[in-house]
Structure 1
């Protein structure tokens, strides 16, 4: 008996194959929930919590909020509890959510396509100053996020936002998040097509639709008709990238199944050409595939990228066409490799003869006061439109040629640079431990300090630095700041301090990148060097050492990413 049991355990001839657990796919396994997250979503839609916020919680206060609303359904309206001040990163994984959270919220304002009018900008600035202690950050999802929001103030904030055509609807939660769009939509001289009508149609038809308000997890969309491919399309669940079809003219190339976090996967090109008219219905088909076939049993596998990995692009396209569209999509051409940066920093001519100016805040930090001053400056020089970017940048549109120089000079005085250093231009940081309950280390202030120190330390080789060199700083493994896609990505960790204790630090990712003019057309995830961890206080020393080594040993024309990919490990420590 013992021998037989051992044989079974070791997979011998008499062993029975282990039954494969269901993935809680609605079309295969039914809708019976297999975890509490799925239970509360079926019990009551996240969209329904708005009424309770307005009629109950805003009047009775934080303590009246039910657990499933507070830690679940509030997300459907752009609200997360923020981290309580003073809890160090070493305790993040040890404490329950209730022990980590404060009685205030982060509020995410949804900006599809990153588009803001002057009136909308002033409204956000006013809300920041009155209700959010002056906080406001431009995220790398083109949203604006604020902190210190009290539940009592939420209805009034919604009223002000909606009066100017803004909302927080489905800014978070297991829904379709903000739709990334080219910041130059409708204005770029070299635009293949303007994606704005597609983005607006998707938003009007499907955002807030109860039939799409219970997905396995979040669903991210990107749409761009600009040749710089400026919406990080390889890391979204679905992306539409502008191409010119030899027979059908301008349209989109379809990509599906991208996402980062702890198990990064780049999106897969389906080889399908999508016309502007087809795009909304095609998007609707893809999101319903995710709803119906996406994995729900385990939250860490409940993203579309895992379904794509198991199905492959051929099956995915077949299911899309046969079950959801009812027709076959045309095959289409691949997008051409970008010829210039997609962050749009600097001064550039629009197709109407006016100019747009791309400005670089420090790691996305803006704040209500700064946004008010920017609005005043825009109005002074005749601009009424602003765009946010997936690189935590701001793009001011419609500046007359004769005003550009003065505008740029005054924006610089505000701390918004149109000609930033390579470090300021291409450094991003997530929210970090200041407000995020998942964070382990501080990010924004660390990144700002490193930028300043590198500008000073590497002034002697300024002329030898590449035009862009991305440094992305993340407070935890979830990669909100896209660390695996950076030249230098820093993932927050608690690391040994060398003296028997622990300190804040980072694991290093090197040589990542998405499709842009510096790399090949294909994106790549960065490499890690075993055992390479850097204390937060030593980041400037490490990056300086690394860049000087790159300058000294690179071959002609070799990008930092390619050098880092090819270098021996001892060159990277």
Structure 2
């Protein structure tokens, strides 16, 4: 993985010193909250309902075991013993004291990490495929290009104050596992007819208030010109993106207003002036960065392990885990392993400090000291010998990290929701727990197969609900209760789509029955072994809508809210919820 040079380290160290002075001035009253707010946001510090939240950048999801142990240290010393992995491949700590944040950032700097550009109207964390470098279907390893983008975008003076936040995702494989179609810019590596490497570029994708699948702006940009082409997109957006209305300030609104043809024309005109200029990548530069991502010291190993097959036959739990949590590897004798952060009863994406330490140990023991965070809120050990899979499974099981549910209903994407976030209309974590409790039956989950259930507490859609096979989003209603709108048919990947809304919203206690009725239609209508999303595409939304609304859904008043993480709302909840972080 990439290692800081002296310049990287100096930049981060100086930012910590600068921020420490800013915090002292805020605590002394020299800075008002309005003056301090943009300064803290530049370092990833948000004001939430109960405390400050600190978001830490994990570039393209890649972590060392040393960095994971630092997360464990921060969770114990400064938080409440856990952290939360997000859909941006970052980690958040939700119970932070302002006066301790400079020390946290100093601790992070000691392991080459920071919170810079995890907030604000700038280019955010570059995200990528969690199986980068090991996937059998990979065309090119995207990590060197992601790192080049990270270095280029960090403190870029022209793009420090964009109309709105900006997100870039890059995929290097035949199958898109980075959700590039719902990013401001999505890059997909391809080869042209001559075998040359380049990138298909999508622009204007996103979820939130206006969910849109990105439009293709160029079908092939040679790798040498990746940066200059992206720069031209950014310059057109920076000049013409709306700044008068934050809800219409994203690049997707500009692309929609101009139309992709006119937007492309303006980008091409700008690009003509800078193509071939200083931003052009060279073989030497790409090779220099790529050396940080050289393959580890793989051992020559047999592709099949007879002992592994025998253990699978004798142990159903292990066989289920192998089926759901283990992925192919381009090297014979190796596998990529997903550690599930979706154990029933636990908030999706949450990891305790003790688990972080154990994960770091497993990374050292089984995966060359590295691991990855996924945008679906799980973790990956990317380089595990097949002969170590049984030992790894036993260890992961002992620490609650081996739930065999990857890709199944209980492998939910879920934002923190109104338990923490000042913007949310409804709580996500309690609902995720309630749905998991209702459907946590292994045989049932495996029978219904792959279903992506994504959940957000508000229209900002941090939980990617619009591209969930089943999407749930909290909506604002005047009665002050918690209400959820449901969509189906969304998808990410190569067949990305925005889900269609079923109809009127439901309250908290109705939601498990809503999910149950959706599954009933699927089980009734599916063809043999047909996945849920294929059934939805074949029969459409109407059969689901008819059955869900066929008879009234009674609220289950017997639900004990204390079992689902409900918190009493502070008196200032409404005021803070309508504030801007």
* Fold conserved between structures, TM > 0.5: yes
Find out whether 1:316 has 2:289 as its counterpart: no
* CA–CA distance in structure 2, aligned partners of residues 52 and 268 of structure 1: 40
Pairwise mapping of residues 107-506 of structure 1 onto structure 2 (< 5 A)?
107-326=54-273, 346-353=325-332, 354-362=334-342, 363-417=348-402, 419-420=404-405, 423=408, 426-456=411-441, 461-462=444-445, 464-465=447-448, 467-493=449-475, 503-506=481-484
Equivalent residue, structure 2, for 1:567: 543
Find out whether 1:551 has 2:523 as its counterpart: yes
Q: What stretches of structure 2 of length at least 5 have no aligned partner? A: 1-13, 277-322, 343-347, 550-581
* CA–CA distance in structure 1, aligned partners of residues 420 and 399 of structure 2: 25
Q: 1:529 to 1:402 in 2, by over 3 A?
A: closer
Deviation at 1:461, TM superposition (A): 4.5
Q: 1:210 to 1:62 in 2, by over 3 A?
A: farther
* CA–CA distance in structure 1, aligned partners of residues 369 and 499 of structure 2: 39
* CA–CA distance in structure 2, aligned partners of residues 566 and 418 of structure 1: 34
Secondary structure of the structure 1 residue equivalent to 2:224: coil
Deviation at 1:130, TM superposition (A): 1.0
* CA–CA distance in structure 2, aligned partners of residues 74 and 345 of structure 1: 40
Q: Is contact 1:510–1:564 with CA below 8 Å preserved after alignment?
A: no
Q: 1:318 to 1:438 in 2, by over 3 A?
A: same
Aligned match for 2:501, one of 510, 528, 538: 528
Q: Is contact 2:521–2:543 with CA below 8 Å preserved after alignment?
A: no
Secondary structure of the structure 2 residue equivalent to 1:355: strand
* CA–CA distance in structure 2, aligned partners of residues 49 and 279 of structure 1: 29
Q: How many residues align?
A: 481
* CA–CA distance in structure 2, aligned partners of residues 260 and 406 of structure 1: 40
Aligned match for 1:511, one of 456, 480, 489: 489
Q: 1:111 to 1:251 in 2, by over 3 A?
A: same
Aligned match for 1:542, one of 503, 514, 519: 514
Equivalent residue, structure 1, for 2:33: 67
Q: 1:301 to 1:345 in 2, by over 3 A?
A: farther
Q: Deviations over 1:185-240 (max 9, x none)?
A: 22222211011111111211221123211100000000110222011111100010
Q: Deviations over 1:463-497 (max 9, x none)?
A: 541x311111211122111111112111113669x
> Bigger shift: 553-562 or 160-169?
553-562
Name the TM-score, length of structure 1 as normaliser: 0.78
Q: Deviations over 1:135-166 (max 9, x none)?
A: 31110111111111222222221122122221
Deviation at 1:373, TM superposition (A): 1.7
Q: 1:566 to 1:225 in 2, by over 3 A?
A: farther
> Bigger shift: 213-222 or 57-66?
57-66
Name the TM-score, length of structure 2 as normaliser: 0.77
Please tell me the root mean square deviation across aligned C-alpha atoms, in Å. 2.6
Equivalent residue, structure 2, for 1:57: 23
Deviation at 1:266, TM superposition (A): 1.4
Q: What stretches of structure 1 of length at least 5 have no aligned partner? A: 1-47, 85-103, 330-343
